[in-house]
Amino acid sequence: MAELPETPRTPARTGFAHALYTGAISYSFVGRRKVWYILSAVMILISVGGLLVRGLNLGIDFRGGVAFNAPVAVNSSTIDTVRQAVVSSGPGDLDGTEVVTVGTGHVRVQTRPLSPSETTTVRQAIARVTGAQADAVTYTNVGSQWGRQITQKGLQALAVFLALVMILIWVYFRDWRMSVSAIVAMLHDIVITVGVYALVGFTVTPSTLIGVLTILGYSLYDTVVVFDKVRENTAGLAGTDVTYSEGANRAVNQVLVRSINTTIIGVLPVAALLFGGAFLLGSGPLEDLGLALFVGMIIGAYSSIFIATPLLAQMREREPEVRKHTEAVLRRRERAAEEGLRVSAETVATGSTELTDLPATIRSQPVRNSRSARQK
């Protein structure tokens, strides 16, 4: 009788991402939450310290001032030459003057608020150094009142955004703890991003506000993806031998590679934007927007994994029902470990080495030290 050909077997999937998803490899993100809390606390303290010591370098749109525009053939020394001419033109307190090039044929100068006579003096100095006619140098007075209105509107937009986020997450997940965890993560992102601006000294412009609101949306998206996996892993928790923290930790491991890949793909073009704005075009809207997006996207991915999920697990583990379930699971594991040790000792004494001699419930449970189980 002819032998039937063997059916080719589908090779088993291997790889780091697959191992994380199936649980073959697992890192204790939730179990090491104290480490992440301390790391975030240090970053927040540094950020707050930068805000208190250095403060924010507010742009002309927030503090008011005069913006001059002049035609000039831009070269590598244009910014320094024009700035030096403005500072030494006569009016005092012009050290904070900002000069940026606009393309290859214009230069923009931003100064503090000036009186009419000071405006004329600075305008003439810019005309001399650029070789343009005085009438070709245009200027615009920007009042500080407009800056205050922008700040107020920005804060209102932020408050409305956070309120809507809390309502949306609560409605979608039916869990107010997820709302609180997501808001804490986003506030964490805002403080650190603003602190980086203070430490680096980049100018805060309306582009910065746009960038900050953008990163909040990115951070929220990443957090919701992780929370959705947490909900899936912890559904019907009472009928399982898994604690809430373990289910949440597995969710983080399962989406870890996706979060890293998404962040890298998003950060690469933002890094190019930041590099172009800071080193090729000089300070300007691209630089301000690029820094906010670059820092915010990285810290947003960090907070979704290391802050939001561990905080959620910590709050849920304090609930009476979840805590009761956790204690029951640990007790079962402790009994299984003790039974496994007893049966193993009997097996050694009788000379039996077959794993099938052990009860199935014991073979499926990891042997753990009872003290470590109680500590967890």
DSSP string, 243-296: -HHHHHHHHHHHHHHHHHHHHHHHHHHHHHHHHIIIIIS-SSHHHHHHHHHHHH
C-beta of residue 109 within 8 angstroms of C-beta of residue 171:
no
Give residue-wise pLDDT tens across range 134-155: 888 888 887 767 767 777 877 8
CA distances from 13 to 8, 26, 250 (A): 15, 17, 19
The yes or no reply on domain 16-57+146-318 and CATH 1.20.81.30 is no
pLDDT at 366: 45
pLDDT at 279: 58
DSSP letters spanning 81-130:
HHHHHHHTSS-S--TT-EEEEETTTEEEEEES---HHHHHHHHHHHHHHH
Q: Return the H-helix or E-strand segment holding 67.
A: strand 65-71
Give residue-wise pLDDT tens across range 332-348: 888 877 776 666 555 55
Q: Does 16-57+146-318 match 65-142 in CATH topology?
A: no
Q: Rounded to the nearest 5°, which phi and psi values hold at 91?
A: -60, 145
Tally Cβ neighbours within 10 Å of residue 2: 4
164-187: average pLDDT: 87
Mean pLDDT, the chain, rounded, equals 78
C-beta of residue 251 within 8 angstroms of C-beta of residue 229:
yes
pLDDT at 21: 60
pLDDT at 349: 52
Q: What angle do CA 153, 156, 159 make, to 5 degrees?
A: 155
Q: Return the H-helix or E-strand segment holding 185.
A: helix 176-200
pLDDT at 347: 57
Give the dihedral sign, CA 83/84/90/91: positive
pLDDT band at 369 (very low <50, low <70, confident <90, very high): very low
Q: Is the pLDDT higher at 62 or at 189?
A: 189
Q: Is 242 helix (H, G, I), strand (E, B) or coil?
A: coil
Instruction: Classify residue 30 by burial, with Cβ atoms within 10 Å: 0-12, 13-18, 19+.
Output: buried
- The domain spans of the chain are 16-57+146-318, 65-142, 322-375
pLDDT at 278: 59
Q: How far apart are the first and last CA of the chain?
A: 61
On the question of pLDDT at 265 being above 60, the answer is: yes
pTM: 0.72
On the question of pLDDT at 211 being above 60, the answer is: yes
C-beta of residue 37 within 8 angstroms of C-beta of residue 318:
no
Give residue-wise pLDDT tens across range 288-316: 777 888 888 889 889 989 999 999 999 99
Q: Nearest Cα to 260, choosing from 301, 321, 296? A: 301
pLDDT at 148: 75
Helices H, strands E: what count in the chain?
A: 14, 6
On the question of pLDDT at 354 being above 50, the answer is: no
On the question of pLDDT at 36 being above 90, the answer is: yes
Strands laid side by side in the 65-71 sheet: 98-102, 106-111, 65-71, 138-142
Tally Cβ neighbours within 10 Å of residue 318: 10
pLDDT at 4: 47
Give residue-wise pLDDT tens across range 116-131: 888 888 888 888 888 8
Domain 65-142: assigned CATH number: 3.30.70.260
pLDDT at 373: 41
C-beta of residue 316 within 8 angstroms of C-beta of residue 322:
yes
On the question of pLDDT at 364 being above 50, the answer is: no
pLDDT at 27: 80
Q: In angstroms, rounded to a whole number, what is the distance separating the alpha carbons of residues 237 and 120?
A: 74
pLDDT at 46: 94
Strand partners, 68: 109, 139
Give residue-wise pLDDT tens across range 241-258: 888 888 899 889 888 888
Q: Is 26 helix (H, G, I), strand (E, B) or coil?
A: coil
On the question of pLDDT at 49 being above 60, the answer is: yes
Q: In angstroms, rounded to a whole number, what is the distance separating the alpha carbons of residues 177 and 166?
A: 10
pLDDT at 19: 64
Q: In angstroms, rounded to a whole number, what is the distance separating the alpha carbons of residues 131 and 331?
A: 84
44: left (phi over 0), alpha (psi -120 to 50) or beta: alpha
On the question of pLDDT at 358 being above 50, the answer is: no
